Structure 1
Amino acid sequence: MARILLAEDDDSLRGFLARALERAGFEVQACADGEEAVQHLEHPWDLLLTDIVMPGMDGIEVARQAAARDPSLRIMFITGFAAVALSAQDRAPAGAKVLSKPVHLRDLVAEVEKMMAA
């Protein structure tokens, strides 16, 4: 079973994402912000799924710290800001994927499954 570290500051969206991924068979640790996510980086993860824009530590910094600890970690960003998505591609660790909100849960699960199969 693949393990996903999820960082999303919107409570309801975090709950929806976590439940959808759990129903798809993934183990999910849901975090309310970047600082909380970084506290969980000592555990092994298969995928970091993080919002880019969050108060405090943003998702790009979480991804950088995560990739420094585990260069093989798969990273996927979600964001509701198109300009942020474009700039994230330049600042994100190599191989990271960016999805724009709103994202249908079925599409998110499909993208996660693709990343896990790669």
Structure 2
Amino acid sequence: MTADHSPKSDSPRILLAEDEEAMRTYLARALTNAGYEVRAVDRGTEAIPLLESERFDLLLSDIVMPEMDGIELAQCCAEISPHTRVMFITGFAAVSLRASREQPEAKVLSKPFHLRDLVLEVERVFEEQAEASL
């Protein structure tokens, strides 16, 4: 169940892994409207082949998902595509604490959040990446 939302080819590319269909659609639409190219999948195991075959600037992943959780996905991403930044979204505060310990480079955004907050956090990730490459 891969969805491709492509505004323009020179946009930063985001791989969105979110198992809840309504949330996945909502987030993909908001990020596309903000000017990002978004590929959306419903599980971590579906994200792995995309990370292997395509270039993404950001992995935006729910933490709690079937088959492979977001932390496992982020660890695989670090091996497969080390340049890809990681950001987690979660509805579980305790899980976000675990994520921040195991994946200190990743930002964690707790649900519920406003779409404006998500877009601002994604923009910050890309700004930090641009500053680091100067």
TM-score normalised by L of structure 1: 0.96
- 2:16 aligned partner: 6
Higher relative contact order (CA 8 A, sep 6+): 1
- 1:89 aligned partner: 100
1:15 pairs, out of 25, 29, 32, with 25
- 1:52 aligned partner: 63
Runs (4+) of structure 1 exceeding 4 A deviation are none
Number of equivalent positions: 117
Q: Do structure 1's residue 61 and structure 2's residue 96 form an aligned pair?
A: no
**1:43-82 per-position Cα deviation (integer Å, ceiling 9, x unaligned):** 1100000000001100001111111122221100000000
Structure 2 portions without partners, runs of 5+: 1-10, 129-134
2:108 pairs, out of 70, 83, 98, with 98
- 2:45 aligned partner: 35
1:31 shift after superposition = 0.3
Structure 1 portions without partners, runs of 5+: none
Distance 2:23 2:72 in 1: 21
Q: Do structure 1's residue 74 and structure 2's residue 85 form an aligned pair?
A: yes
- 2:3 aligned partner: none
Q: Do structure 1's residue 24 and structure 2's residue 3 form an aligned pair?
A: no
Contact 2:18 2:24 (C-alpha < 8 Å) held by counterparts: yes
Secondary structure in structure 1 of the residue aligned to 2:67: coil
Distance 1:114 1:37 in 2: 23
**1:27-48 per-position Cα deviation (integer Å, ceiling 9, x unaligned):** 0000011111112112110000
Identity of aligned residues (%): 58
Instruction: Mark the structure with the bigger radius of gyration.
Output: 2
Distance 2:49 2:82 in 1: 18
- 1:112 aligned partner: 122
Kindly report the root-mean-square deviation, in angstroms, between the aligned alpha carbons of the 2 structures: 0.8
